[in-house]
């Protein structure tokens, strides 16, 4: 039989993989770079733009601050990359900031980092996808109306690719990242060569003057510094995702730490070169971009609805000769692709973090379960769902989303660097080998410097971004933190309750078993249930029926005599036409008279095969079963009767014609999961 949902699942995510295949999904460096570093690499596509957007608040007056701000970002990038190289070496088991902070600063601090990182992974997807869509729209303005739909579709696509497993997503994502690096470097080189020959590029937007929204260009002292810091905070988006490599160390090929550290250096150098190149060219070409298009003097078209091309698009257009040159389209395509795939960093990191948190019982254990393709499916799906909601709510607008971003990054940066300092302190307190000691001391200096720097940046980001939207990210992190603590508390208390204190005392056998068979009609399922109940030879056995309509009960009694049933029948009255309450009350009364015995309630059920048949049978027995489970000392025994429509789902003899010929295995190994319907027979 052909099963549509199952076939669709196989088509999207591929065939199920055995647990032993897990080892095969390790990554070489040339694949690890695009997978784990596409986020920091791609963020150079919007980092310059975010700096410019802040500085144009005073018209073009403060654009002179740009190089200084950019230098600050580059310096910070160097510090962070150096710091994280130490982390990767010290913790080859992965877990990144969460693991480092938990080990060195305790579970509470670790959980703060975990909550921050989760928020940040979500934002990485949202910002990257939104920015990627922005670049597509810069190349094809006609697509402007489909912004949200495109963004959500890309998220769904990424989720599907990741559900297929790590290795395959690596292959699919390697090419665009390298295309992007090549394209941007080509563009930067071309731009610089043109400049050298006196043909400096001029952006399309260079001709617009900008109406200052504030300050009229006359800003000095503290206010000027605050503006610069705000621009710097925006530029720090370039640093997001460095974390991902240290989280993903276990996915590298051996030697894992060394390969991860090398990949991180490559990533840092490449990102810095591209970022500097783009920023210089943007200043030279006089790219003018504003939050509000109506600030542009001389802009043609309706400034309330038209969107401005991205900085990358403006540069590519001016350097490669206009909006229709092949290289312009190449740059836009590569940028859009790498941005959308940068979201993949989060699709790798989030489920991994989720599985570690689930293992530590901070998240539901479903996040630790590997799916058919060995990926942590539930984490992937959760990330996709949250992001689709977020993109839909924020209309996939980068400027709205960006304010929620990077606060989490710097929380985890700072705490993990502090943790690393503690780590080296511990190493130095026991280590005697002078060579190792020298290395540890050097690392400690790097991490201490990193902690100070990133801590400072955290304060800057908090001060400049909180009111503009970051409060929501803070709130989300707090909610996650509280929720994870609650989950852990729940799991701990359940585990405490269930732990066996004394094997003898906890495994007391009930002295007697009282059997009760629930009956509504005397048909085959009932007879089977009676037969099975008798086969168990309980100490007492009786049949019980609830009298809702008198005629039915009388008919049942007559049949009982006619069929000469050995088991005695007891009738319970139900003036309010309920079935559950009288049965539960009766079962409880049996228990009360003999508290050391167990009561076994046999429920005849018939099982149907089609989902719609579900609606044709009452749910009383299902409800009854769940109520009985609340009653101490009770066993609930379902005695199923398979209707002819039911066994098709499972029974080999009843499969459709030609099923064997089509090569379907007899014991249903092909992973089909037909929804079974359990239709109780209580009317």
- CA distances 521 to 297, 560, 576, Å, are 84, 10, 20
Told to check if 611 binds a copy of itself by CB under 8 A, we report no
Q: Which residues contact 633 (CB under 8 A, 6 or more apart)?
A: 510, 591, 595, 597, 598, 599
The least CB distance from residue 629 to a copy of itself, in Å, is 4
Q: Work out whether 627 is an interface residue with a copy of itself (CB under 8 A).
A: yes
Q: What would you report as the CA-atom Rg of the chain, rounded to the nearest whole angstrom? A: 33
381 binds a copy of itself (CB under 8 A): no
Length of the chain counted residue by residue: 683
Would you give the binding string for a copy of itself spanning residues 448-487, x where CB under 8 A is met?
---------------------------------------x
Interface pick for a copy of itself out of 199, 253, 365, 662 (rule CB under 8 A): 365
Say which DSSP state 324 is in.
T
Task: Tokens for 175, please give them.
Answer: 């090419």
Q: Which is nearer to a copy of itself, 188 or 598 (CB)?
A: 598
State which residue, 8 or 683, has the beta carbon closest to a copy of itself.
683
Applying CB under 8 A, among 191, 637, 655, 664 the residue interacting with a copy of itself is 637
- Closest separation between CB of residue 602 and a copy of itself, Å? 8
What would the DSSP string read from start to end of 472-541? HHHHHHHHHHHHHHHHHHHHHHHHHHHS-S-HHHHTPPPS-EEEEEE-SS-SHHHHHHHHHHHHT--SEE
C-beta of 375: minimal distance to a copy of itself in Å? Answer: 12
Is residue 552 close enough to count as binding a copy of itself by CB under 8 A? no
Per CB under 8 A, the segment of 212-220, 272-280, 393-401, 488-496 that binds a copy of itself is 488-496
Question: Encoding tokens for residue 660?
Answer: 């064997």
- State which of positions 411-450 bind a copy of itself (CB under 8 A): none
Q: Rule CB under 8 A: say whether 670 interacts with a copy of itself.
A: no
Segment interacting with a copy of itself, rule: CB under 8 A, options 25-33, 39-47, 454-462, 518-526: 518-526
φ/ψ bin of 415: left (φ > 0), alpha (ψ from -120 to 50), beta (otherwise): alpha
* 525 in contact with a copy of itself (CB under 8 A): yes
**Under rule CB under 8 A, residue 653 binds a copy of itself:** no
Q: Which of 381, 527, 571, 572 binds a copy of itself (CB under 8 A)?
A: 527
Stretch that binds a copy of itself, among 229-237, 264-272, 300-308, 627-635 (CB under 8 A): 627-635
Q: Which stretch binds a copy of itself (CB under 8 A): 193-201, 265-273, 406-414, 605-613?
A: 605-613
The structure tokens listed for 292 are: 């509000």
Residue pair 582/573 in contact by the 8 Å Cβ criterion:
yes
Question: Exposed/middle/buried for 300, CB within 10 Å: 0-12, 13-18, 19+?
Answer: exposed
Q: Nearer Cβ to a copy of itself, position 20 or 145?
A: 20
- Cα torsion 381, 387, 388, 394 to 10°: value is 170
Q: Is 498 exposed, middle or buried (0-12, 13-18, 19+ CB in 10 A)?
A: exposed
Residue written as tokens 């929720």? 483
DSSP secondary structure code for residue 27 in this structure: B
Asked if 202 is part of the footprint of a copy of itself (rule: CB under 8 A), the reply reads: no
Does residue 291 interact with a copy of itself by CB under 8 A? no
In whole angstroms, how close is the CB of 626 to a copy of itself at the nearest point?
Answer: 5
In terms of CB distance, is 265 or 493 closer to a copy of itself? 493
In angstroms, give the least distance from the CB of 11 to a copy of itself. Answer: 18
Q: Which of 73, 617, 621, 655 binds a copy of itself (CB under 8 A)?
A: 617
Quote the least distance from Cβ 344 to a copy of itself, whole Å: 24
Number of residues that bind a copy of itself (CB under 8 A): 95
Rank residues 67 and 676 by Cβ distance to a copy of itself and give the closer one: 676
Q: How far is CA 302 from the centre of its chain?
A: 39
Q: Which is nearer to a copy of itself, 273 or 565 (CB)?
A: 565
Closest distance of CB 6 from a copy of itself, Å: 13
Q: In this chain, which of 214, 426, 492, 506 binds a copy of itself, going by CB under 8 A?
A: 506
Cβ within 8 Å of residue 524, ≥6 positions away: 641
Q: Exposed, middle or buried: residue 145 (CB in 10 Å: 0-12, 13-18, 19+)?
A: exposed
CB of 536 to a copy of itself, least distance (A): 5
Contact assessment for residue 217 and residue 59, using Cβ atoms and an 8 Å cutoff: yes
Give the one residue of 577, 592, 657, 661 binding a copy of itself; rule: CB under 8 A.
Answer: 577
Residues 6+ apart with CB under 8 A from 644: none
Question: Could you identify the residue written with the tokens 């070169």?
Answer: 273
């Amino acid at each position: 039989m052909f099963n549509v949902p199952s076939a669709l699942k196989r088509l999207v995510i591929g065939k199920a993989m055995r647990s032993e295949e897990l080892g095969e999904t390790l990554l070489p460096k040339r694949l690890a770079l695009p997978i784990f570093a596409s986020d920091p690499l791609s963020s150079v596509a919007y980092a310059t733009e975010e700096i410019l957007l802040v500085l144009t608040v005073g018209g073009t007056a403060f654009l002179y601050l740009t190089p200084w701000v950019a230098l600050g970002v580059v310096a910070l990038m160097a510090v962070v990359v150096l710091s994280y190289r130490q982390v990767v070496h010290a913790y080859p088991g992965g877990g990144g900031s969460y693991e480092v902070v938990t080990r060195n600063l305790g579970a509470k601090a670790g959980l703060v980092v975990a909550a921050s990182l989760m928020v940040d992974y979500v934002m990485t997807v949202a910002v990257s996808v939104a920015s990627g869509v922005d670049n597509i729209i810069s190349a094809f303005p006609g697509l402007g109306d489909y912004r949200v739909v495109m963004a959500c579709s890309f998220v769904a696509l990424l989720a599907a690719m990741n559900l297929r497993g790590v290795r395959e997503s690596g292959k699919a994502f390697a090419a665009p990242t390298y295309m992007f690096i090549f394209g941007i470097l080509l563009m930067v080189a071309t731009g610089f060569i043109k400049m050298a020959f006196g043909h400096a590029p001029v952006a399309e937007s260079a001709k617009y003057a900008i109406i200052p929204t504030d300050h009229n260009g006359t800003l000095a002292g503290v206010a000027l510094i605050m503006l610069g810091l705000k621009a710097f905070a925006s530029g720090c988006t370039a640093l997001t995702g460095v974390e991902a490599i240290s989280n993903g160390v276990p996915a590298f090929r051996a030697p894992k730490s060394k390969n991860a550290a090398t990949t991180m250096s490559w990533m840092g150098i490449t990102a810095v070169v591209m970022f500097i190149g783009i920023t210089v060219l943007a200043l030279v070409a006089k790219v003018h971009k504003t939050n509000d298009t109506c600030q542009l003097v001389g802009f043609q078209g309706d400034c309330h609805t038209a969107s401005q091309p991205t900085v990358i698009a403006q540069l590519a257009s001016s350097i490669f000769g206009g909006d229709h040159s092949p290289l312009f389209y190449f740059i836009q395509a590569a940028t859009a692709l790498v941005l959308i795939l940068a979201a993949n960093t989060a699709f790798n990191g989030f489920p991994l973090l989720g599985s570690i948190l689930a293992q530590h019982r901070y998240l539901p254990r479903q996040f630790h379960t590997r799916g058919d393709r060995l990926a942590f499916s539930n984490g992937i799906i959760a990330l996709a769902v949250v992001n689709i909601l977020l993109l839909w709510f924020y209309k996939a607008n980068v400027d709205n989303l960006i304010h929620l971003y990077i606060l989490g990054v710097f929380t985890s940066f700072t705490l993990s660097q502090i943790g690393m300092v503690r780590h080296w302190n511990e190493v130095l307190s026991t280590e005697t080998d002078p060579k190792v000691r020298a290395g540890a001391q050097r690392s400690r200096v790097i991490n201490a410097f990193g902690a100070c720097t990133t801590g400072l940046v955290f304060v800057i980001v908090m001060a400049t971004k909180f009111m503009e939207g970051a409060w929501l990210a803070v709130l989300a992190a707090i909610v996650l933190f509280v929720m994870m603590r609650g989950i852990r508390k729940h799991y701990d208390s359940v585990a405490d309750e269930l732990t066996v204190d004394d094997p003898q005392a906890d495994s007391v056998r009930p002295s007697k078993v009282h059997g009760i068979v629930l009956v509504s009609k005397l048909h085959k399922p009932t007879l089977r249930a009676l037969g099975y109940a008798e086969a168990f030879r309980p100490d007492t056995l009786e049949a019980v029926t609830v009298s809702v309509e008198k005629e039915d009960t009388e008919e049942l009694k007559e049949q009982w005599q006619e069929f000469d049933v050995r088991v005695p029948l007891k009738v319970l009255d139900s003036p309010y036409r309920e079935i559950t309450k009288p049965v539960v009350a009766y079962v409880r009364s049996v228990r009360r008279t003999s508290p050391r015995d167990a009561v076994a309630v046999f429920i005849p059920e018939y099982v149907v095969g089609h989902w719609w048949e579900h609606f044709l049978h009452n749910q009383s027995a299902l409800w009854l079963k769940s109520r009985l489970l609340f009653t101490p000392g009770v066993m609930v025994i379902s005695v199923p009767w398979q209707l002819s429509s039911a066994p098709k789902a499972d029974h080999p003899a009843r499969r459709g014609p030609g099923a064997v010929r089509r090569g379907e295995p007899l014991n249903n190994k092909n992973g089909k999961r037909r929804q079974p319907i359990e239709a109780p027979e209580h009317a």
